[in-house]
Amino acid sequence: MIDSSIRFSVAPMMDWTDRHCRVFHRLLTRRARLYTEMLTTGAIIHGARRRLLSFDASEHPVALQLGGSNPRDLAEAARIGEDFGYDEINMNVGCPSDRVKGGNFGACLMAEPQLVAECVAAMKQAVRIPVTVKCRIGIDDQDPEVALDTLSRAVIAAGSDALVVHARKAWLNGLSPKENRDIPPLHYDRVYRLKAALPAVPVVINGGITSIAAAKQHLDHVDGAMLGRAAYQEPWRLLSVDPELFGEAAPHATMHDAIEALMPYVERELAAGTRLHSITRHLVGAFHGVPGARAFRRYLAEVCTKPGAGTDSLREALTIVEPRSAAPIAA
């Protein structure tokens, strides 16, 4: 039986889905699976481990996404992640950035399915929690029918517990990382065919999904849907995840209520030396489409970025927006 906890997730996004973002998102949905930003094995093994990996207990279920291609290093980083309490280890085989390509991890590994399989096998031996792979449907001149099937079967044979598939190719030669998020066409049908060919394998679809309603449509064909930029830039959408996809009430009725519930966390973080802006930068899209949203964003940018700004500043920002207004969350 496929675990229902993969039914909806928020994508790992560099510079966005840090621990403050995830705590905020958890106040909008109890059921979504959350992901860290991609962290390289080198950073975890040799870097400031506690700073990189610590997270709030409220974030569960939360997955650690790893970037790397050395099976031994990935196994060690996965073991460290498990010790920190993560619920899943996810291997990045989809990021198209130049830095990732230069380090021989991310989307370029689509060309090395056997190496990816070896990495998965090493991580599976090292940890007891699920190990998953996030990939593209192919890269550059690869035939997606062959490339995705070859990679998927290799990593499943090695023990991968699920596949998360961004339904676009990545063009490592000719397109920038930003262009790779939009220009290659989406081929959702290719991911549907993968699921049909591997009915016992949990398959999550990602790429270009802009609403909970759209995510729900994909669930007719696959086991899970993952939102990226839409979830981050318009976080109010997450208030409808639990009611629409899990038949449960949202943790908070409105965005005002959710941000009020965030205040104790903000106070703890400020006391620990975190700057308010490190948290409030994730709230910029909270009131998209609501009267006062522009003034709210301006207040966050002009006041909440000042040294010494505290919860009083955030509460003042909330007064700018109509208190019980809500964006059309089913849109």
Give the CA dihedral 295, 301, 307, 313, nearest 10 degrees.
30
Structure tokens belonging to residue 310: 């505290």
Quote the crossing angle between the two packed helices 144-157 and 113-126, to the nearest 10°: 30
Buried b (16+ CB within 10 A) or exposed e, 202-224: bbbbbbbbbbbeebbebeebbbb
The Cα 28–Cα 238 span in angstroms is 6
Rounded Cα gap, residues 294 and 298, in angstroms: 6
User: Where are the extended beta strands (E) located within 37-174?
Assistant: 39-40, 62-67, 88-93, 131-139, 162-170
Q: Which of 19, 94, 95, 92 is nearest to 62 (CA)?
A: 19
Segment (H or E) for 312 = helix 311-320
For the question of residue 95 being annotated catalytic, the response is yes
Q: Dihedral sign, CA of 222, 28, 181, 92?
A: negative
Instruction: Please report which residue ranges of 158-309 form alpha helices under DSSP H.
Output: 177-180, 188-197, 212-218, 229-233, 241-246, 255-271, 276-280, 293-302
Q: Which of 21, 95, 108, 304 is catalytic?
A: 95
* Residues forming beta bridges with residue 40, ordered by sequence position: 67
- The amino acid sitting at 12 is P
34's CB contacts (< 8 A; 6+ apart) are 9, 10, 17, 22, 25, 26, 59, 61, 62, 63
Q: CA distances (Å), 172 to each of 56, 107, 166, 185, 191, in order?
A: 36, 8, 15, 15, 21
**Which residues are catalytically annotated?**
95
